[in-house]
Amino acid sequence: MATKAQIASAARALFAGQGYVATTIAAIAESADIPAPTIYSAFGGKAAILRAIAWGIADTLDIDRAHEEALAEPDPRDGLRRAANIQRRQFEQMYDVIDIYQEAARTDPDIARDMRTIAANRERAFRRHVEAIAAHLAPGVSTDDGVAIYLTLVLPEVYRTLVIERGWTAGRYENWLADALITQLLP
């Protein structure tokens, strides 16, 4: 288990620093101080390492439970605030991994398939949230419109622009996102 963690940590740093495509198993082996055959035995390849990194972080965030708690909020505003907190925590913990996934998807068909699955899962989760508050949506905002608005506001590119490029704190991003979701979706 410690070996896999070493490999994942070294790979994450290399993927983020020099890019997914440029990072070789040999470079990961050197950085982790673990023989390349051990890496192949433990993971099989770079795509599996990247998946393990992403799912390891996602598991610690317990995103599904957090979404259920947001859905359970009786006040839709509170549920949307919780949703904004989920996004903040997710981006804080793994924005670099999301960025790596996006780069890798351009050249790796398996990662591209993963990205499509992740996007579909996100849309399903956001649709469930919008459907749960459908009776409270602003006049003129259909469920489909609400999902489109939600999906757009929580794009990783929005986080990157505000936090990474413009220097917002993660807390400011969370507050902005909560306000934007509430303002755009509710009366």
Range(s) of the domain holding residue 136: 62-185
Does residue 121 form part of some domain?
Answer: yes
Does residue 55 form part of some domain?
Answer: no
Instruction: Please give the distance of CA 9 from its chain centroid, rounded to a whole number.
Output: 18
- Each residue's pLDDT, cut to its tens digit, for the chain (187 residues) gives 679 999 999 999 999 999 999 999 999 999 999 999 999 999 999 999 999 999 999 999 999 999 999 999 999 999 999 999 999 999 999 999 999 999 999 999 999 999 999 999 999 999 999 999 999 999 999 999 999 999 999 999 999 999 999 999 999 999 999 999 999 999 9
Q: Are residues 41 and 125 in the same domain?
A: no
Q: Tell me, what's the pLDDT at 24?
A: 98
Euclidean distance between CA atoms 137 and 92, whole angstroms: 29
Total domains present in the chain: 2
Residue whose C-alpha is closest to residue 164's, from 46, 16, 56, 42: 16
Does residue 115 form part of some domain?
Answer: yes
- Per DSSP, the three-state class of 106 is coil
Q: Tell me, what's the pLDDT at 2?
A: 75
CATH number of the domain encompassing residue 30: 1.10.10.60
CA triplet 117, 141, 66: central angle to 5 degrees?
45
Q: Are residues 30 and 78 in the same domain?
A: no
Specify the pTM. 0.93
Q: Are residues 155 and 78 in the same domain?
A: yes
**Residue 105, token pair as written in the block:** 């998807």
Q: Tell me, what's the pLDDT at 95?
A: 97
Q: Are residues 33 and 78 in the same domain?
A: no
Q: Tell me, what's the pLDDT at 112?
A: 98
Burial profile 55-68: b = 16 or more Cβ within 10 angstroms, e = fewer: eebbeeeebeebbe
The structure tokens 């006040």 sit at 75
Does residue 164 form part of some domain?
Answer: yes
Euclidean distance between CA atoms 158 and 141, whole angstroms: 22
Euclidean distance between CA atoms 137 and 130, whole angstroms: 8
Q: Are residues 111 and 181 in the same domain?
A: yes
Euclidean distance between CA atoms 73 and 100, whole angstroms: 33
Euclidean distance between CA atoms 57 and 13, whole angstroms: 14
Does residue 57 form part of some domain?
Answer: no
Does residue 56 form part of some domain?
Answer: no
